[in-house]
Amino acid sequence: MPEPICIAVLPGDGVGPEVTAEAVACLEVVALEFFHEFEFHEHLIGGAALDVVGVPLPEATLKACQESRAVFLGAVGSPKHDHQPAHLRPESGLLALRAALGVFANLRPVRVDDALIDASPLKASIVRGTDLLIVRELAGGLYFGEPRSLTKTRGVNTMAYTDGEVERVARVAFKLAKGRRRKVTSVDKANVLESSRLWRSVVDRVAKDYPEVKLDHQYVDSCAMALVTRPATFDVLLTENLFGDILSDEAAVLPGSLGLLPSASLGGTVDLYEPVHGSAPDIAGRGIANPVGAILSAALLLRYTLGLETEARLLEEAVRGVLAEGCGTPDLQGARIPVGTTELGNRIRRRFTELAWSGASLECVASAK
Ligand code: NAD
Ligand code: IPM
Ligand code: MN
């Protein structure tokens, strides 16, 4: 018998536990249908940890994450802790976890399927064909640069990058682009920022090792506009930490809801998976959060950490099928069959099982080759 695969689960705050439960239940069905053994161990993070232990990333949580094959996180953040000093905010637990695991490449895929085109608030003619991947640098930039300080009259943060930090994330973007439409758009603010000038020159240098990939550079302000005027022209978007944070929430408008977007954070000792959205305190506890971003993050875990491409594709196909039928939580405008978080998760799991028992899994294996 192979050893069970141990996954650390950090539900966190707000809608975090609601969407995490659906994603974990999906992984359980994957395990059942494909004879894998996954073990899930829950731990505290964020506001939930502050309430019990007094710190946003307890040592026990970090140790458990470091000893797991992968970490699955719901969301952190709660209005109750918004006025705390930085080290006592839920968000600093997540930032400390990312730093401790050493994950530096945050992948945020965004797709608009033809069947779901009407869910977008933008015109179908604009979003049709959108299939892009944001590769966000996650370990540096303004989030971690020194010096940083805050007094009553002055707040300081520093955007700093070394060539090594840029090179390693750029290589991830180029490698992924090779398996896609072979185009990288590197997003920076090189007309103003020194850190961006370094970024651009390193990306140019790295690009020479990937001659089959076309590279262009774009300023972040212009990219923000292009993302909602000609999104289908992008393939891989490579960018620094804060720009990637902002552009990915903007990109959520394309498929129609922030609740749809998944992410994978790679490159460190243990991979971390989380939906792109936050704890959504405005809808928490009502059973209406969209679990799709979390479920698609579970699919990324199957793909990137466990190498289970067939299972990942079937789970993504199950999500697509259920949404295409018109099922959706209230954030998906125009969903013809309104459902809550658990019902949407149930429907996706049922669809996954049907696909696993049909010829679809064989087709997935064939098309993955
Ligand atoms: P948010 O992402 O939580 O919510 C923004 C909007 O999107 C809200 O209207 C919310 O209802 C909606 N939304 C988000 N997720 C949804 C889902 N699954 N289904 C349906 N609607 C959804 O951003 P915010 O309100 O700016 O931040 C709330 C808290 O979350 C803050 O404390 C923030 O720091 C934190 N946050 C955490 C993460 C994370 O844990 N990775 C990410 C972003 C924000
Ligand atoms: C995200 C979030 C986090 C970030 C916060 C909660 C620290 O917005 O994952 O997008 O800024 O990276
Ligand atoms: Mn964000």
For every residue of 25-70, DSSP letters joined together read HHHHHHHHHHT--EEEEE---HHHHHHHTSSSS-HHHHHHHHTSSE
CA of 46 to the centre of ligand 1 (A): 14
Q: Does domain 108-256 have CATH number 3.40.718.10?
A: yes
Q: What percentage of the chain carries pLDDT values higher than 90?
A: 93
216 in catalytic set: no
Of the candidates 13, 188, 189, 304, the residue annotated as catalytic is: 189
Residue nearest to atom 8 of ligand 2 (CA): 245
Residue nearest to atom 36 of ligand 1 (CA): 278
**Sign for the pseudo-dihedral over CA of 193, 195, 200, 201:** positive
| Residues lying with their CB under 5 A of ligand 3, a single-atom ion | 245
Max CA distance (Å), the chain: 65
CA of 258 to the centre of ligand 3 (A): 10
Q: Which band of pLDDT confidence, cut at 50, 70 and 90, is reported for residue 154?
A: very high
Residue 133: alpha-carbon gap to chain centroid: 10
Amino acid 1: pLDDT = 66
Atom of ligand 1 at shortest range from CA of 74:
40
CA of 244 to the centre of ligand 3 (A): 8
Stretch 292-320: mean pLDDT? 98
CA atoms within 13 A on the CB side of 176: 24
Chain mean pLDDT for the chain: 96
Dist. CA 247–CA 239, nearest whole Å? 9
114 in catalytic set: no
Residue nearest to atom 4 of ligand 2 (CA): 245
Q: Report whether pLDDT(368) > 80.
A: no
304 in catalytic set: no
Cβ of 62 less than 6 Å from ligand 1:
no
Q: Where are the domains of the chain?
A: 1-104+267-369, 108-256
Residue nearest to atom 11 of ligand 1 (CA): 280
Dist. CA 61–CA 47, nearest whole Å? 13
Amino acid 63: pLDDT = 98
Amino acid 367: pLDDT = 64
Amino acid 211: pLDDT = 98
Dist. CA 131–CA 244, nearest whole Å? 16
Best residue for ligand 2 mutational test, from 15, 245, 246, 272 (most atoms within 8 Å of Cβ): 245
143 in catalytic set: yes
Assigned CATH for 1-104+267-369: 3.40.718.10
Q: Which ligand is nearest to the Cα of residue 76, counting in written order?
A: 1
Cβ of 262 less than 6 Å from ligand 1:
no
235 in catalytic set: no
